[in-house]
Amino acid sequence: MNPGAPARARWRLAVALAATVGLALLSRRHALPGVLAEYTGDAGYATAAFFLLALGRPAWRTLHLAAAAWLFAAAIECAQLLSWPWLQELSIQVFAAV
């Protein structure tokens, strides 16, 4: 926490999160051209993770929020590379219980 900096306004973060989700959903309906279409979803959920983290920890520095959002997005991408049968079965059981 940075003691000299004011905490971010949560209503602004909520608006930014809603706009990010809206734009990401809109990009699914109206695909962007070329390489933009391929990475729009990844950028969208990484940006949404940033705003969601900022809602939970508004006093964190921007660099720390960005690093945490990047780590989250990287972990998701790495998890998508894993195709171990026991891990897939575990995720099916976990999500079926929810």
Q: Return the axis-axis angle of helices 10-29 and 35-56, rounded to nearest 10°.
A: 160
Q: How far is Cα 22 from Cα 38, in angstroms, rounded to an integer? A: 18
Residue boundaries of the structural domains of the chain: 10-97
Q: How many CA atoms lie within 13 A of 44 on its CB side?
A: 17
pLDDT number for residue 47: 93
Instruction: Convert the pLDDT of each residue in 15-55 to its tens digit.
Output: 999 999 998 888 878 877 877 777 888 888 899 999 999 99
